[in-house]
Amino acid sequence: MKLFKQWADRKYPLAARILVLVLAGLIFAILIPSLLLVTLPGLGTKLGIPLLQFGITNFLIGALFILVGFIYAAWSILSQVVLASGTPVPVMPTQKLLVVRPFKQCRNPMVFGTLMAYLGCSILTGSLLSAAAVILFAVLLVIYIKRIEEKELEERFGQEYLDYKQRTPFIIPRVSGRMHTHSR
């Protein structure tokens, strides 16, 4: 946790944050989707794992998931850079707790968006191996968030984060116009 605190205490110029986002984008927006769209479906076929292809249905559902995922991921990243002087990359965390825009709908909108987009890639190709990789990635990501990230946020933001955590869903957005209130 000490290392996370050191990273959080540093101020990073916009140019450095953009550079980190470009590098992370190469991995999360190009490399991983390429694995899910090309490499794993091909490997699955070689291993005899059937593709679940339903023609245009795969395309429509997969494209919808990718679109929704992209919107949530991009919206949350932009919010982190512009509103909180940080990035989603742990070495350049936000300087303040975000509780507005997509972060009002769920605590991890970038994770939601990323998983939706990756699942969309799997649906698009009909690859069971790609879907299994997305599920494994999701499980590992949730473990990281629960064991490390949430503790670090609690340390940095204290009661403000605990209150936010209590009133805001973990990953699945609450898109209704009204947030639950405890005073009625």
On whether residue 177 sits in a domain, the answer given is no
Asked if pLDDT for residue 8 goes beyond 90, the answer is no
User: How high is the mean pLDDT of the chain?
Assistant: 92
> Helices (DSSP H) in 85-126: which residue ranges?
102-105, 109-125
On whether residue 92 sits in a domain, the answer given is yes
What is the model's pTM? 0.89
What integer pLDDT is reported at residue 14 of this predicted model? Answer: 86
For the segment 19-27, the average pLDDT, to the nearest whole number, is: 93
Give the gyration radius of the chain's Cα atoms: 18
What integer pLDDT is reported at residue 99 of this predicted model? Answer: 95
What integer pLDDT is reported at residue 180 of this predicted model? Answer: 47
- Distance linking the first and last C-alpha atoms of the chain: 38
Our count of domains for the chain comes to 1
On whether residue 61 sits in a domain, the answer given is yes
On whether residue 176 sits in a domain, the answer given is no
Tell me how far CA of residue 166 lies from CA of 68, 158, 159, 179, in angstroms: 25, 13, 10, 12
What integer pLDDT is reported at residue 179 of this predicted model? Answer: 47
Asked if pLDDT for residue 12 goes beyond 70, the answer is yes
Res. 73 pLDDT band, cuts 50 70 90: very high
- Could you list the residue range(s) of the whole structural domain that residue 23 is in? 2-167
Query: In percent, how much of the chain has pLDDT > 70?
Result: 94
CATH number at residue 81: 1.20.120
pLDDT tens by residue, 76-91? 999 999 999 889 998 8
Distance between CA atoms of residues 102 and 137, nearest Å: 22
